[in-house]
């Protein structure tokens, strides 16, 4: 018995004929377009990752500036 993967179900629902061709190892006729799409998704994934890292860096800078402001106010109140 073979496991049914979610990607296979999605491919079948999208286009049963394309799923059948893929299951028979028939090469795709639009390989260049598929390669362009894969490259685009990789580039987009890197951009999303970079945006997430920048967001966390922004949070860290906000926290650091709040801590600096609290330290400065404490120093002014004591001194």
pLDDT tens-digit series, residues 2-23: 788 898 899 899 999 988 998 8
Domain membership of residue 44 (yes or no) is yes
Residue 1 is assigned to a structural domain of this protein? no
In a domain, 23, yes or no: yes
pLDDT of residue 56: 98
* pLDDT, tens only, 23-71: 899 988 888 999 999 999 999 999 999 999 999 999 999 999 999 999 9
Q: How confident is the model at residue 77 (pLDDT cuts 50, 70, 90)?
A: very high
Is residue 30 assigned to a domain? yes
Domain contains 68 = yes
- Predicted pLDDT of residue 63: 98
pTM for the whole thing?
Answer: 0.60
- The SS3 assignment for 63 reads helix
Q: What is the tally of structural domains in the chain?
A: 1
Q: Which domain holds residue 23?
A: 6-78
Residue 40, domain member (yes or no):
yes
């Amino acid at each position: 018995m073979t496991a049914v993967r979610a990607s296979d179900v999605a491919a079948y629902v999208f286009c049963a004929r394309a799923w059948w061709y893929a299951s028979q190892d028939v090469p795709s006729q639009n390989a260049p377009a598929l390669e362009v799409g894969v490259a685009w998704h990789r580039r987009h994934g890197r951009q999303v990752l970079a945006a997430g890292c920048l967001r966390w860096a922004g949070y860290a800078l906000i926290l650091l500036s709040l801590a600096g402001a609290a330290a400065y106010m404490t120093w002014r109140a004591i001194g």
